[in-house]
Structure 1
């Protein structure tokens, strides 16, 4: 009787994994609209280097 309940669980788990993999793969091909601008470190714009080992 246990095998009867294990099959649907395994099938649902396989379906869930398949859907998640499909979402991950499709999101890799999506274009990103994120644009980085006005980057700062230690209140400096475009620093050449960082002297502080733990910048804010």
Structure 2
């Protein structure tokens, strides 16, 4: 994979993650407004935030 391809993939993943995070935040806020417990959604949101931060900081971990 070339550097340009890697950068494009990196940006695409970051943008998709950011969009997913915004969508999740809207869902969670709606549920909070309805009085629902959103601990599970908060956990997912925290994981996405951590992954986006690590991606932005170029901290990768292999599985």
Superposition TM-score, scaled by structure 1 size: 0.49
Which has the larger Rg?
1
Superposition TM-score, scaled by structure 2 size: 0.44
- Larger strand share, 1 or 2: 1
- Larger helix share, 1 or 2: 2
State the structure with bigger RCO (CA 8 A, min sep 6), 1 or 2. Answer: 2
